[in-house]
Amino acid sequence: MMLERNMSAHSVEAYLSDVQKLADYLLDSYPEVLPNQVELSHLEHFLGFLHDLGLGARTQARILSGLRSFFRYLILEDSIQIDPTDLIEGPKIGRKMPEVLAYEEIEQVLSRIDLSHPQGTRNRAMLETLYACGLRVSELVNLQVSNLFLDVGFVKVIGKNNKERIVPIGDSAIKYIRQYLDHDRKKLPVEPSVSDYVFLNRRGKPLSRVMVFNIVKESIKNAGIKKTVSPHTFRHSFATHLVEGGADLRAVQEMLGHESIVTTEIYTHLDINYLRETILSFHPLNNS
């Protein structure tokens, strides 16, 4: 199985550990049951046992995933005819809602960037672009000048697996990108090999992901915002604000570069939470 699925040693060790947990449980609770005799009821009791041990839903789901692989292997080896994991329902895992900045907080962050600082215009242009286009940090640091079509208000983004997408960009972001490209960036010692990268450090090299994280962290601190914010927060905020404003979910999916609309649907949940908080905050019966 390790060779067939090209698994890492760490993955194999994890799977073996999952199977061993089941084997230990069967030895104590059903000593007469062999691995090729395991039925659905045994697995259901095993998951109940894991729950009683205090293991969280994610850990239970991971163990069950390992067991599914084990029983699929037994099927392939003709050791069993029926996979007992086929009908088992995994534990429900709540989806963690990402942190989002309110529009007023976005404005606060952008307005507090010191444009008199040597890298101030670059930082403003960078954060404007993160929010205006909903980019991943990897997409931001690899953004190319040749992929900017500012006259018509679009940028071409190279996303995961080198998939290209066209994303609209707003006037404010365009303004600061142009200001950065026409003035501050021209003062940098840029080598021809990296001349097409939009955002550069003061040595004329492309920005690293870590540098972008540090710039965001510093900008959030200067704005006096206490939330835990990363570059990805601007992407979440972009999508959430679009959905709150009534944007079509398919359009948001295209702009984010999501393979599946299921991934994009998390922002509808955020929108529901936003609506609920609004009702609780402003409905007259909740203010008594």
- Tens digit of pLDDT for each residue in 14-31? 778 888 889 888 888 888
Contact 198, 143 (CB under 8 A): yes
| pLDDT per position as a tens digit, 182-210 | 999 999 999 999 999 999 999 999 999 89
CATH 1.10.150 positions along the chain are 2-76
- Give the mean pLDDT of 175-180: 97
User: What is the pTM for the complete model shown?
Assistant: 0.64
Higher pLDDT residue, 279 or 119?
A: 119
- Domain 103-282 is of which CATH architecture? Orthogonal Bundle (1.10)
Q: Which residue from 233, 218, 200, 237 is spatially nearest to 125, judged by alpha carbons? A: 200
Lowest mean pLDDT among 134-138, 189-193, 247-251, 272-276: 272-276
Distances (CA, A) of 113 to 10, 134, 244, 246: 44, 20, 27, 30
C-alpha 229: how far from its chain's center?
A: 13
C-alpha 242: how far from its chain's center?
A: 17
- Domain 2-76 is of which CATH architecture? Orthogonal Bundle (1.10)
Element of type H or E holding 158: strand 154-158
Give the active site residues: 136, 160, 232, 235, 258, 267
CATH 1.10.443.10 positions along the chain are 103-282
Asked if residue 138 has pLDDT above 50, the reply is yes
b or e along 53-75 (b: 16 or more beta carbons within 10 Å of the residue's beta carbon)?
Answer: eebeeeebeebbebbbbbbebbe
Q: Identify any residues that bridge with 10 across adjacent strands, giving them in sequence order.
A: none
